[in-house]
């Protein structure tokens, strides 16, 4: 158990819908990262927050948004869902933002039908 929790574990929804994925970082970790793992693209960095502020942005679609709240949990919002958004979404956290100190959550599997 990495100490990073993600809810829900599984999510099945329809095209065009909107969903919210939630991540609670390890106690004391200020930085949260979101990743998408799809069958054809592999693991891709989406976005990073540090202490409530956006720190870095990767291959995140405009239909996706995220935020980190004062209690440091983070939410990833996916809207106007398409079939191709079906993937595993991982959250990771770290104390300082160092890449070799990231701890990953178990992921949320999103299926868009």
113 binds another protein, rule: CB under 8 A: no
Residue 25 structure tokens? 């970082």
Q: Which is nearer to another protein, 36 or 81 (CB)?
A: 36
> Which position among 58, 69, 80, 83 is part of the footprint of another protein (CB under 8 A)?
58
C-alpha distance across the termini of the chain, in Å: 31
48 binds another protein, rule: CB under 8 A: yes
4 binds another protein, rule: CB under 8 A: yes
Strand partners, 41: none
65 binds another protein, rule: CB under 8 A: no
> Which position among 55, 65, 79, 86 is part of the footprint of another protein (CB under 8 A)?
55
Strands 108-112 and 10-13: parallel
Residue 113 structure tokens? 């039908």
22 binds another protein, rule: CB under 8 A: no
Q: Are 58 and 66 in contact (CB under 8 A)?
A: no
62 binds another protein, rule: CB under 8 A: no
Q: Which is nearer to another protein, 32 or 112 (CB)?
A: 32
For 32, residues 6+ apart whose C-beta sits below 8 A from its C-beta are 23, 25, 48, 49, 50, 68, 72, 74, 91, 92, 93
64 binds another protein, rule: CB under 8 A: no
Least distance CB 72 / another protein (angstroms): 17
């Amino acid at each position: 158990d990495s100490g990073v929790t993600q809810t829900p574990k599984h999510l099945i929804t329809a095209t065009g819908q909107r969903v919210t994925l939630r991540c609670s970082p390890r106690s004391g970790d200020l930085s949260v990262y979101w990743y998408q793992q799809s069958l054809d693209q592999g693991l891709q960095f989406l976005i990073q927050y540090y202490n409530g502020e956006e720190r870095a942005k990767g291959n995140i679609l405009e239909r996706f948004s995220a935020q980190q709240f004062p209690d440091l949990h983070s939410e990833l919002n996916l809207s106007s869902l398409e079939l191709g958004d079906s993937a595993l979404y991982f959250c990771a956290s770290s104390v300082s933002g160092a890449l070799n100190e990231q701890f990953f959550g178990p992921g949320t599997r999103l299926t868009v039908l």
